[in-house]
Amino acid sequence: MSGYGTNNVPVQTDAKNRSWRTLIQGLGIDVATALFLVLAAAVTNIEWTKQYWWTLLLLAGKSIIQAIVSYFVRLLVPPAGARQ
């Protein structure tokens, strides 16, 4: 491996960019889920309980773990178009 990813960007920089993008995508899904829960609670007679808050916390934690895994996987497995 030459230490460079796609477009002659250093592998670590490329990995950081990809992990940030993965985090933003995951958090976007989490926000959409949270909005769905808020709308469901507003339309129906559902109360916000500890389970709702734990669900949101676990979703955010999942996104953070997903971004960390994305970073390390990118360091270990180069994309198809990367120079070798």
Look at the block and give the residue holding tokens 């960007």. 9
In the predicted structure, residue 30 carries a pLDDT above the cut 50: yes
Whole-number pLDDT of residue 1: 46
In the predicted structure, residue 37 carries a pLDDT above the cut 60: yes
Among 23, 4, 7, CA closest to 78: 4
Q: What is the pTM of this model?
A: 0.66
Whole-number pLDDT of residue 55: 84
Confidence of residue 3 (pLDDT cuts 50, 70, 90): low
Q: What share of the chain is helix, strand, coil (3-state, %, to 5)?
A: 75, 0, 25
Spatial contact of 70 and 18, defined as CB atoms under 8 Å apart: yes
